[in-house]
Structures are given as structure tokens and as C-alpha cells.
Amino acid sequence: GCVLVVSVIEQLAQWHNSTVKAALERLCDYIPGKYQIICHMFCCIDREMNADVVCHSLRLCKQDPGQPLCHLYSPPKREKHSSGFFCALAHARPKCQIIYKIFMGFSSVCGFPLLANLCEKFKYVLRNKLPFEDFDGDKFSTFPTLRGYHWRGRDCNDKNTTVYPGRRPDNWDAESDSNCNGIWGVDPKDGIPYEEKFCKGAGSKGVVLLGDSAGAHFHIPPEWMTVTQMSAKSFANLPMAFSDELDWPQFSEITGFLNSTIGGWTDSLYLRLRKRNRCNHRDLQNISQNVYFPINIAPYLSFSLARNQLLDNPAIVIYATIGNDVCNGDRDTLAHMTTPKEMLSNVVQALRYLDSHLPNGSHVILTGLVDGRFLWDNLHDRYHPLGQLNKDVTYSQLYSFLDCLQVSPCSGWLTPNETLRNLTSERALQLSNVLKEIARSEKFANFDILYMDFPLKQTAEEWHKMGGEPWQLIEPVDGFHPSQIAAALGTGITWQKALREWPQVLGKENPFNAQIEAIFKDQGGH
């Protein structure tokens, strides 16, 4: 994080031909309010020091005994041999001692008074994967971020625990909107409740995603580090992004519902289900998390899933941990990957929990793992946004830097070692076959199980037909996650497969959709 921020400051100075101090002030002017504490930490930067030297001098970066020296940039040019870095560091440290002492006066970034409250909120939502603002405790919220309605359908009464998206209507919602789909009241022409008239027998279903950072739609805006295009507008979304954990579920492939503001367009399984049956309005849950290690979903389902077997509509549950079971930042990455035996145990455990909580008539779709060799093949020799100004940082360099720090999102795929990349894909295929066998052989009382491969190949082919390049399907800053374009294209491919092979999952098209929109158009907002 330090290296990224310092790189931006130094490039701002270069681009605007200004001093580092002026560039720092410019960046601080761009960044909203309380987040400016981040940029004020770096007032000791010198144009002669690269970002690695500054961050080591601040002691935000360090070299542990017996570990290699991790750096994103080439060592300073004053000396070609390795001691050039340490010479620059000795020159820099005195300038940074005051900032270092101030910073170390707090136990962490969360120790800063202006950020402490925000950190406490983060800890709550990360621990529980539930809305921070939820006054009635029904796991739905009227607040967008901090696991609010960007992640789950918006609550329409946060003071009544029996009112929430996805429930079966109470007395056909003759007097109030108990399921928050905007349809309620009685038709004065015949005295029949609108919910009964339009939604009875329509097969209403919600959509639930159990996923990883790809499902949460992790995204760091490239404009945050592209100095040639940087302005205050670039950081307008920073508070929202931080309070959503740098995820954008509101634009995602499964639960997206807002028009994308991060490039591309929004298309999602939820939006298509809603278009097919307007009674499905707001019935969505994105239970995904940003972790770079194998996920056993079962333990946190008990407190994060919101579905009442007796009171709620059935749901389509997408189980999609497309990379975490083979991705980690460990040096011996293969030893830390999920084994087929562990995969079988973890998934069956989650399915048993779902069977005890999902309403009858639900469906579970298991999604296979991605073949991540696509990442290295299409990005390694391209310039990262940080390297575009001076042509000095490729994705290969970024991957090596993260791997050295042991924080790589996927050491097995983001590596120049072709053998390791192939072994990682072999394990991913083995785990996908486990999922395929579960779908074939396991039976549950309240849902059927289906399997589909992750549609990367079809997505790339579709994008090529549209004139696009493969690298555009990958997030530009982290060089790892699917981009907004990939998410939208993947939705269309998945939907067409479902129409052909699983029409029972999608349900019937509601013949009253137009009438619902005409009567309740002002109550259809998300």
C-alpha cells in the first residue's frame, strides 16, 4: 500500500513538473476529508528516492532476517550493485524519523482518531458479513455500504423484523409491503390484492451468491493511480469503495442491480430474473468475502444467510469460489491448496446446512474453478497502470513484488514458473471434477444440484467477436480478478446455458410484468 501511494505522489510531481511537496498537496486536495491522513503520512518523500526506498525508510516495509529484499522498482541508479538500495535508504532515514515516530505512536492505521470509528465498522462487517446498520436484526438494511443493500436487497422497513426482501407475502400484502418488492394494496376494481393477482403462482425466487472476492467483484479504480488523468473526481468514490471493502457487488455478475460506474455495463443473474418476473424485485444476497486462502463456506452460513424455510420464497444459490481453493500467497503454494478430499467435505457440509434452511423448490448451482493461466498469458509483459508513465512496471514485476511479500493473491498462477502454473490448473480441474461429481451423485430434500464450468473460454471468444482484447477481461490494478466487462459477458453466457438446459431453475416469465411496472413504477427503485 505504501509503495502504491508513494509511486502516485512521485509521478504526480513528474507529470506536473512540480516539487514532491506540491504533488503531495495536490493529492491531498483530491482525496476526500478524513482519508487525507493517508497522504499526510508521506511528507518526507524526496524526488531522488523511489517508492521502495521511501517505504523502507518509513519502516512500513521491512526485510525480515533470511528473507529477500522486496522491491517493485529497480534499485537507485547511483550504484548498480545491490548496496545502492541501502545507500539510498541510509540517506533517507533521517528525513523520515519524525513521521515514523508519529506513525508508530499508534498500534495501526486504525489507531488514528479519524479512522478508528470506520475501522470498528469494518471489523464488524468482516467478522459477521452482515449489515452494520440493521436496526431490526433481519439481516437487511436501508444503508448502502458496510454490507448494506449493495450486498442484499434493500429493506423497506428497518423497524420491523418480519418485513424484508424474499419472504412470502403476509396476507398477500393487502395492507403493506411485507416482502419489499414494491407490490402491495388492493385493486379497487375487484378487491383482489395486487400481490395475489400478479404474483400468485409466478414461481418467485431469490438469488444468493456464496463466493469469493471475484463474486464480491473486487475492483481498485485505475484512475486512483493514473496521474495523467487524475483529478478530485477520480477519488469521489473512495469513501464508498472503502466502506464496501473495495468490492462493487452492486455491479457484479450475480447480484448487480445498478448501472456500472467502473466501466463496462451491468448485467446480472438477479436483473434477468427480475426482468423475467417482476415479483422477484430486491430478492438478492451476495455473501462473498475477500480472502486469499481456501474458504470453507459452511461455518459462516449460519449467521450470514438470510432465508427462512417456512416463511420465504425458494432461492437459486450460486456456489462459486472460483479460485480460492488453489490460490494463496505461500511460498510452498501447492501444499496449501485444498485437496479433493477436503473439497468434498467442505462442499457437502455447506450443502447439508443449506438443505436445512432453504425453502423447498430451491436450486443450487456449483460453479467450477477458473483456469487462471489466462492471467499470466495475457498480462505478464504489459505495463501496469503504475508503470505506464515511465514504462517501468510490468505485471510480471508486480506479481514478483507481491510474491516476495508473500501477499500474492495467487502464487500458483501469477508466476513466471510455467510448471507451477500448470500444476495449479491441474489442481483446479481436480476440484472442479469433485464439484461435478457432487452434482451428479448427491441428493437433497429441498433443492436440486446443478454444475457448470466457469465460462472463461466462452467469455473470451464472445469478447473477441466484439473486437475486444483478452487483457481487458482482467482487472487492471490487481491483474487478477474478472473485470466489469468479463462479469457482464459471463452473465449472458450463463443465462443462455440455463435457458437451454435448466429452464426449471429460471421459472416462468410473468405475464403481468407490464401491468406491475405500470402500477408500481414509482415503487420499483432498489
Amino acid sitting at position 116 = A
**C-alpha span between 510 and 514 (Å, rounded):** 9
DSSP single-letter state for residue 108: S
3-state secondary structure of 459: helix
Nearest partner of 57 among 110, 107, 2, judged by Cα: 2
| Sequence-separated (6 or more) residues with CB below 8 Å from residue 133 | 141, 142, 143, 146, 148, 158
Burial label for 274, CB within 10 Å (0-12, 13-18, 19+), is buried
Q: What was the pLDDT predicted at 50? A: 87
CATH 1.20.120 assigned to domain 244-512? The reply is no
The whole-model pTM stands at: 0.93
Low pLDDT (below 50) residues in the chain:
79-82, 106
Residue 351's alpha-carbon distances to 80, 103, 206, 254, 451, in angstroms, are: 58, 46, 17, 19, 13
pLDDT of 176 reads: 97
At residue 315, what is the residue type?
A: A
Q: How many CA atoms lie within 13 A of 324 on its CB side?
A: 22
| Amino acid at position 385, single letter | P
Domain boundaries, the chain: 244-512
Q: From edge to edge, which strands make up the β-sheet containing 206-211? A: 284-288, 206-211, 315-320, 362-367, 447-452
- At residue 366, what are phi and psi to the nearest 5 degrees? -90, 125
Q: What percent of the residues of the chain are helix, what percent strand, and what percent coil, each to the nearest 5?
A: 45, 10, 45
d(CA 453, CA 422) in angstroms, rounded, equals: 18
CA–CA distance, 430 with 520 (Å, rounded to integer): 49
- CB proximity list for 143: less than 8 A, separation 6 or greater: 131, 132, 133, 149
* 73-107 b/e (C-beta count within 10 Å ≥ 16 → b): bebbeeeeeeebbbbbbebbbebbeebbeebeeee
Q: CA 317 → CA 202, 209, 283, 404, 455, distances in Å? A: 19, 6, 12, 37, 18
Concatenating the DSSP letter of every residue in 468-482 gives --GGGGB-TTTSSSB
Which one-letter DSSP state was computed for residue 208?
E
**CA separation for the pair 282, 152 (Å, rounded):** 8
Tell me, what amino acid is at 511?
Answer: P
- Residue 318 CB contacts under 8 Å (≥ 6 apart), including other chains: 207, 208, 209, 210, 211, 215, 254, 269, 365, 367
Strands (E), 339-473: 362-367, 447-452
Residue 208: the pLDDT is 98
The answer to whether 138 and 154 have CB atoms below 8 angstroms apart is no
Give me the pLDDT at residue 58, please.
Answer: 82
Q: How far apart are CA 448 and CA 82, in angstroms?
A: 60
Angstrom CA distances, 79 to 84, 89, 91, stand at: 5, 13, 14
| 3-state secondary structure labels for all residues of 239-301 | HHHHHCCCECHHHCCCCCCCCCCCCCCCCCHHHHHHHHCHHHCCCEEEEECCCCCCCCCHHHH
Closest by CA to 121, choosing from 137, 132, 134, 135, is 132
pLDDT for 33: 80
How far is the C-alpha of 110 from the C-alpha of 78, rounded, in Å?
A: 37
pLDDT score of 335: 97
Enumerate the active-site residues.
213
Label each residue of 178-205 as H, E or C: CCCCCCCCECCCCCCEHHHHHHCCCCCC
